[in-house]
Structure 1
Amino acid sequence: MIEMIAFERARSLVLGSVHPLASERVEVTSAGGRVLAEPAAVLVDLPSARIATRDGFALRAKEADPRRKLKVRGSAFAGSPYPEPLAPDAAVRVTTGAVVPEGADTVVPDEEVLREGEEIRVPGSLAVKSFIREQGEELQTGQPLFPAGTVIDPPILSLLVAAGHGEVKVTCQPRARVLAIGDELRPPGRPLLPGQTYPSVAWAIAAALRQLGMAEVRVELCADEEDAILECLPEPLAADLIVTLGGTGRGDRDVVISALENRGCGFEFRGIKMRPGHFTAFGLLREVPVLCLPGGPSAAEAGFYQFLRPVLLKMLGRHRLELPSIRAKLAESVSSPKGQYHLIRGRLERKEREEWFHPLHETGVHQELRLSNGYLAVAEAVEHLGAGSEVEIELIREPW
């Protein structure tokens, strides 16, 4: 096991140890938010036949003549087509969405037709295919639709249904166990004694995991004792991911690493040259990824966005693992410790058509978490960035 490791090496080791979960077939109507495990193709033409796009009359364009009367032979409605080919010198009444009868090649809107009982007169010089959507005009059977790894958002779900899918194959949703470590922790809402606190970060991470697609997230509070930690660990096959918060330092009560090692967890590293999040560790317990994050809110949040989030996305079969980013100017100069990958939390704002990043200074960690919407990642070799420097900002929330 490596004691301390560079940030990029840590990311490579973590993501190289994680693989997409198995897949399952689900009804497409309940697949919203899931991730396609295989490519999806078009199963039916869209539209499935030639369709009228206006209420009017279907006829042959070459028979259009204002001096000539056409016999109305019947009607076609959406879902109830006219049952036979169109006869010569005839028309069929159609509504929007109705199948255009065989033999007809144009639709004349109601407002352009003069009706005389069961006969009509139409203007001359009609264009072929007017107000008609051809079969397969939008989608054709066999056409590739979406690749594996696509997140099924509402528009994509709509298109899958329209393309004929009743079921889709999706990646199974992971189950996570979040262990908050510390004698001082109390369940939310319980009275606090002096020195006690609530594990707010644990619940924030659990909520973020659910939002990203976790099927099940359980939070456990564990005392700073090996036996208590071991008791909180899930049984084999009961979780796809284990996250611990706190107890990763070098203090007398920091026993998380040793407890997990005694259970059989093999650690790849137990520290990263990163600030915040110095005491972050990663290993595998019977092939289940175990990510051990520091308990402080800033370090835990950094660990979530830099490691836990991409781990979950890869398990779900997603292809893009990085946070979205945007170019911005630095509102003030910043200093960074040499040799450390430094994540500076801040707020992105738009002023006079330019984006500016304002580093936040800790006056209250929880308030800072609430106000921030991005990170400036400063590489290990950089010690100073001046005000006005153009930088890349990783977005953790919508900036506006």
Structure 2
Amino acid sequence: MLVSIPQALDLINEKVTPLDGEIIPIEYSVGRVVQDSYTANFNLPRFDNSAMDGYAVKVSDAGSTVLCTQVIYAGDNPSIELKIGHAIKIMTGAPIPKGCEAIVPIEDVTIEQDKVTLPGNIKMGNFIRLAGEDIAKDTTYLHQGEVINAYTVASLASQGVTHITVNRKIKIAIFGTGDELRPHFEKIEDHQLYNSNSPMFLTRSKELGCEVRFIRSSADTLEALQDSVASVLDADIIITSGGVSVGDKDFTKEAFTNLGMQIHFEKVDIKPGRPTVFGTIGRTVVVNLPGNPLASMVNYELFIRAIIRKMSGRNDARHGTVTTIMGEELKLKGGKTTALLGTFDGKSFTPIHNQKPGMVSPMQKADGMILLSPDIAHLSINSTVKMIPLRWESCTEKTEDLINRFSE
């Protein structure tokens, strides 16, 4: 079944389900996806407090000289009350005393012994941080499906939360196929190739926060492939590369289907990377990528990243794009939905010259990727395009049209 890129992503969103959760300390939660929503148990700040080192005053005392004989420090629990004609010295973060209407910063007053001369204009509530103005009690400050960062941890800590429920880490099993492929740490003969795909996907999957197992390349026999597949069915995602085309020894798809894989798509309308299989065996997701490195990298970034986001429980599991301009003129044959890698300098996207499905070198240079509809054969410099970032995440909860469909 041949599907378009949008259809493939819709099927992934439909068939992939989020993982179960685990409870971990908040200090170890960065990059994880929160499984529950969290509601504030109390106001933040918990009490009205001073935003400055200065003086607690009455607004009606503006422009006058008042008496100051008391001071409140952060951490104090004051029982004093401010009266007209008086000021109370106060430190940043200290609780506001009863009767205080504003804080005057220390640099705005004149001090002579216990006498303080106030400025002529004092605004009601000036430099007072109100209880709950940051986070109000009973409001939700962290929603299910959000990705936790260091500043999320700050919010959790401010509420006294020590542990948090997150979706567990995704377990990925990766192996290659092909008698000609050898591990990169072995010597090879002239007729053999190093397996660059498996180490690439292993490290990329780790970079995306997954736990990864590497299975050495399986021989190109149906029995060997089935044994390899059966050994990793406890994984959440199984990734293979190679053996998904129509060669005499391309047994990968057959090996998986013999073990019960339900195929959701097996060809994608994309150049490069058409022979790509997405299926499931129970809750285990299977992706068979092409053997050509650049082709499989393109489809990893398009489809496996989407699978990882959805499986991790993220709300924003869909690809987002960055709108930019072409850094140079582009001419291509057209006629097929095409993926092009390129560099992005923050202002424009420039396609990498000489990128072919079997190449490795363009991948390490790429910052982003553009998808072009079959009717596009020419893009002029400064043409507006939508780019999918590769070096960072651009995500959305809504389905976004990823393909540049206009023509010139």
Common fold by TM > 0.5: yes
Amino acid at match of 1:313: R
Aligned residue for 2:403? none
Amino acid at match of 1:158: A
Aligned residue among 254, 260, 267 for 1:264:
260
Instruction: Show CA shifts across 1:41-97 (max 9, x none).
Output: 333222111111222333434456745534x13x32222333444467554332211
Distance 2:228 2:302 in 1: 25
Aligned residue among 370, 380, 383 for 1:376:
370
Structure 1 195/76 Cα, relative in aligned 2: closer, same or farther at 3 Å?
farther
Q: Does 1:53 align with 2:48?
A: no
Distance 2:263 2:27 in 1: 41
Alignment check: 8 A CA contact 2:12 2:306 kept: no
Alignment check: 8 A CA contact 1:50 1:132 kept: yes
Instruction: Show CA shifts across 1:85-116 (max 9, x none).
Output: 44675543322111122232333333424242
Instruction: Show CA shifts across 1:308-357 (max 9, x none).
Output: 11011111122332143323236221112x3x42212233457xxx6353
State how 1:179-218 maps to structure 2 within 5 Å. Answer: 179-214=175-210, 216-218=211-213
Distance 1:314 1:200 in 2: 27
The alpha carbon displacement at 1:191 in A equals 2.4
Q: Which moved more, 1:160-169 or 1:241-250?
A: 160-169
Taking every aligned residue pair, what percent have the same amino acid on both sides? 24
What SS is found at the alignment partner of 1:274?
Answer: coil
Amino acid at match of 1:40: Y
Q: Does 1:328 align with 2:329?
A: no
Aligned residue for 1:105? 101
Alignment check: 8 A CA contact 1:44 1:164 kept: no
Q: Does 1:29 align with 2:22?
A: no
What SS is found at the alignment partner of 1:148?
Answer: coil
Structure 1 282/369 Cα, relative in aligned 2: closer, same or farther at 3 Å?
same
What SS is found at the alignment partner of 2:224?
Answer: helix
Aligned residue for 2:389? 395
Aligned residue for 2:125? 129
The alpha carbon displacement at 1:32 in A equals 0.9
The alpha carbon displacement at 1:259 in A equals 1.4
Alignment check: 8 A CA contact 2:13 2:307 kept: yes
Structure 1 234/102 Cα, relative in aligned 2: closer, same or farther at 3 Å?
farther
The alpha carbon displacement at 1:307 in A equals 1.0
Distance 2:391 2:32 in 1: 21
Aligned residue for 2:354? 361
TM-score, structure 1 as length reference:
0.85
Distance 1:67 1:269 in 2: 81
State how 1:239-250 maps to structure 2 within 5 Å. Answer: 239-250=235-246
Instruction: Show CA shifts across 1:20-41 (max 9, x none).
Output: 2223333323221111223333
Alignment check: 8 A CA contact 1:248 1:255 kept: yes
Structure 1 287/123 Cα, relative in aligned 2: closer, same or farther at 3 Å?
closer
Alignment check: 8 A CA contact 2:342 2:349 kept: no
Equivalent pairs counted in the alignment come to: 386
The alpha carbon displacement at 1:163 in A equals 4.6
Alignment check: 8 A CA contact 1:267 1:282 kept: yes
Structure 1 57/392 Cα, relative in aligned 2: closer, same or farther at 3 Å?
closer
Distance 2:350 2:212 in 1: 34
Q: Does 1:173 align with 2:166?
A: no
Q: Does 1:283 align with 2:279?
A: yes
Alignment check: 8 A CA contact 1:236 1:286 kept: no
Q: Mind listing any 5+ residue stretches in structure 2 that lack a counterpart?
A: 393-408
Alignment check: 8 A CA contact 2:229 2:255 kept: no
Alignment check: 8 A CA contact 1:81 1:101 kept: no
Aligned residue for 2:14? 16
Q: Does 1:114 align with 2:111?
A: yes
Aligned residue for 1:43? 41
Alignment check: 8 A CA contact 1:326 1:394 kept: no
Distance 1:349 1:155 in 2: 28
Distance 2:119 2:270 in 1: 77
Aligned residue among 34, 53, 75 for 1:79:
75
Structure 1 274/141 Cα, relative in aligned 2: closer, same or farther at 3 Å?
same
TM-score, structure 2 as length reference:
0.84
Instruction: Show CA shifts across 1:240-298 (max 9, x none).
Output: 11111111121122111121122222223332232211211121112311010012111
Amino acid at match of 1:387: S
Structure 1 127/11 Cα, relative in aligned 2: closer, same or farther at 3 Å?
closer
Instruction: Show CA shifts across 1:209-239 (max 9, x none).
Output: 222232x111112222233323333657721
Aligned residue for 2:399? none
Alignment check: 8 A CA contact 2:58 2:83 kept: no
Amino acid at match of 2:37: P
